[in-house]
Amino acid sequence: MKIQLMWRNTATLIVVMMMVMVMMTVAVNVTYDGRSLIIDGQRKMLFSGSIHYPRSTPDMWPSLISKAKEGGIDVIETYVFWNLHEPQPGQYDFSGRRDIVAFIKQIQAQGLYACLRIGPYIEAEWTYGGFPFWLHDVPGIVYRSDNEPFKFYMQNFTTKIVNLMKSEGLYASQGGPIILSQIENEYQNKEKSFGEKGPPYVRWAAKMAVELDTGVPWIMCKQDDAPDPVINTCNGRTCGETFKGPNSPNKPSIWTENWTSFYQVYGENAVKRSAEEMAYQVALFIARKNGTYINYYMYHGGTNFGRSAAEFMITSYYDLAPLDEYGKL
């Protein structure tokens, strides 16, 4: 009798575990229209928070993500750090704080979505904007331009990351948590500097990304001319007032960076921002701009370990975010 009972309990446990595994790998359809992002046919109002995996340690990730979830966050947003992952051409490192797969899987384990901002140029107050130093020595290269050497290495790295995510089944189209991906970053700020080489680069980057066939939408922040079907999004403190809106009536309004404070440089005081002022801007973005997705940048800033910070940046990054440098509320 005891053996039969144990067998039944074990069999039941196996069935339950199989059901959970099936549920976790069910493909999710992510689309959009002019009103919102749509996940499996349901319109979504999503609140997101930026947590950068290399600015904390792997043992901190579960707690950081859990606290963000408790705070009402639906999505965890992160950049991808090219110079960490490809320190030498063709030599990749995804160990320790660089283990982006483990980070994304921890997001999934806690039932949240993810937004992967590949860049590969990220700014992020990170050394060299995330570019690996060896890129500087490539003959004839002109960064972030309609330049064949640059496009070759940019496409290589972007493809590497997308294929890595695909191999682990991490896109929503595969049953994973990633519902959005970003290509390039705030390029419009610099586009005029590249003259006639700027607009073709934007079109190429968008086409290259879309053709990687992730099954989820792509975005470009601060890029009013983001080519279809890539969604242009807003970064800043006051997107409820300043965002010009999507560049197509068929795209939703997305706020990829609602700055919770501001980065701090040596010799300057920390920039404080009240929760009330933030909430007011969020309300404006929803009411005036038909906002469907708001990301708090940063939700946890963390630590610039080693020499990873950009010039003049202090070790602490966005310490006045909802979670401080050490992950405390």
Per the annotation, the verdict on 257 as an active-site residue is: yes
| Neighbouring-strand partners of residue 49 | 76, 296
| Amino acid in the structure at residue 90 | G
Of 257, 268, 276, 311, the catalytic one is 257
Angle, helix 198-210 to helix 148-167, in steps of 10 degrees: 20
Cβ-in-10-Å burial (0-12, 13-18, 19+) of 229 comes to middle
For 137, the token pair is 């020595």
The 10 Å Cβ neighbour count of residue 45 is: 12
Per the annotation, the verdict on 148 as an active-site residue is: no
Distances (CA, A) of 263 to 20, 56, 68, 313: 41, 16, 20, 8
CB distance 206 to 181 below 8 Å:
no
The 10 Å Cβ neighbour count of residue 166 is: 18
CA dihedral sign, ordered 278, 279, 280, 283: positive
For 6, the token pair is 């144990």
Of 168, 186, 196, 211, the catalytic one is 186
Catalytic residue ranges: 186, 257
